[in-house]
Structure 1
Amino acid sequence: MKIYTRGGDKGKTSILGARLNKTDTRIEAIGAVDELNSTIGQAIYRAQQEDLTNISSELMVVSNQLFDYGADLANVKETIPYKITAAHTEELEQRIDMHTESLEPLAYFILPGGCATACALHLCRTEARKAERRVNDIETAIPAELQVYMNRLSDYFFTLARLANKQTGVVDVAYVGEKHFHS
């Protein structure tokens, strides 16, 4: 099977039930989810390098869910059920709560940084926010479950970044207020 179809050579692409311009808001959202999933791949690699197998295992689950999420965004047929449901968001919330219990309470704002895995997870967090904005730009209705799931992902990545720092013995990078360069 060839990887190229030539079907998109004129600026259009096919999804389940429609053919759209590649600049359509739905295609932009699908692309943003794909970008997010690529950053998750980087975070998985970093977690494996730092021997954070619990984090890399969880990220593999989320990566697979995001693949399904992209398929859901590509589904404009009302006869095909969506794969991502409220249960997926509930699982994310349970993970966030479980991990948060093992962390020190937040006492200050945290900047992106720390161990390599935490840095990668902060990038995932920002990509999740970007994907969420693109999903919310879609002009046709999408199930609320998809919006809620994407909104929760950034909180999940933030929590995992803090967990990665804790498990590697690295202190979260604190925001310390107004700073200036000194000569």
Structure 2
Amino acid sequence: MKIYTRTGDKGQTRIIGNNVLYKSDKRIDAYGTVDELNSLVGLICASLTDKTAIFKDELQEIQQLLFDCGTDLATPEDDKKHDYIFNSEEPTDWLEKKIDEYSDATPKVQKFILPGGSVSASYLHVARTVTRRSERQIVDLMQDEPINPVVLKFINRLSDYFFAAARYANVLEGVSDVQYRNSKPVFR
């Protein structure tokens, strides 16, 4: 099987349902950024240390879920042959439990913190910002055409997960978060 189709030679790509869109289309941006995020999560898995290896299984599960999100974002709502596959609130509920668990295991934060610390935490912060960009692109798409709302909710919660996981990674590595020096107390 050849992996090239030559459709891209004209700046276009085929999505689920056989529609052909320009690569600059909002739908392509949305699921393309989810794909970028998925690759970044793979990089995070490869860079985990012995102390942060506890994240590996859940990050690989997140990769599976991100692939589902990308599939749904590549599927127009009016496609009669393909249904959305990301249909459960369970993954979002699971993320919320992880966020609570990691938040309880880290020092209380009242001010903004700078992204960084250990290598694992730094990568998790980058994932948080890519997730936020992905969310903005999904919202931009949603303003023009219907999307699977469960995907948006999951992506929104995922950025919070990456923040909590980054802070916990710093705890595991024995590295303190650095507070933004000009931050007034914002979290109570």
Q: TM-score, normalised by structure 1?
A: 0.90
Which one-letter code corresponds to 1:82 in the other structure? Y
Preserved CA contact (<8 Å) 1:112 1:122: yes
Identity %: 42
Residue 79 (structure 1) shift: 4.8
Alpha-carbon distance between aligned partners in 2 of 1:163 and 1:22, rounded to the nearest angstrom: 38
2:100 maps to 1:129: no
Does the 8 Å CA contact 1:50/1:117 hold for their aligned counterparts? no
The answer for the alignment partner of 2:109 in structure 1 is 106
- 1:181 is matched with none
* Counterpart code for 1:162: R
List runs of 5+ in structure 2 lacking aligned partners.
184-188
User: What is the CA deviation profile of residues 32-84 of structure 1, one whole-angstrom value per residue up to 9, with x for unaligned ones?
Assistant: 1111112212211221x344221122111111111111111111225533222
Q: Which amino acid aligns with 1:83?
A: I
- 1:8-87 equivalences under 5 Å are 8-17=8-17, 18-47=19-48, 49-76=49-76, 77-84=79-86, 85-87=88-90
Deviates more, 1:101-110 or 1:115-124: 101-110
Shift of 1:158: 0.3
Is the 8 Å Cα contact of residues 32 and 127 (structure 1) preserved in structure 2? yes
How far the C-alpha of 1:160 sits from its partner, in A, is 0.4
Matched, 1:153 2:123: no
> Per-residue displacement from partner, 1:155-178 (whole Å, max 9, x unpaired)?
000000001000011111211128
Match of 2:186 in 1: none
- Range that drifts further, 165-174 or 100-109: 100-109
Q: Counterparts of 1:14 and 1:167 in 2: how far apart (Å)?
A: 44
Report the AA paired with residue 44 of structure 1. Answer: C
Query: Is 1:6 the counterpart of 2:9 in the alignment?
Result: no
Q: Partners of 1:173 and 1:4 in 2: how far apart?
A: 46
Aligned length: 177
**Pairing 1:170–2:175 present:** yes
C-alpha RMSD of matched pairs (Å): 1.5
Structure 1 residue runs of 4+, over 6 Å off?
none
1:13, 1:55 → 2: CA distance?
Answer: 35
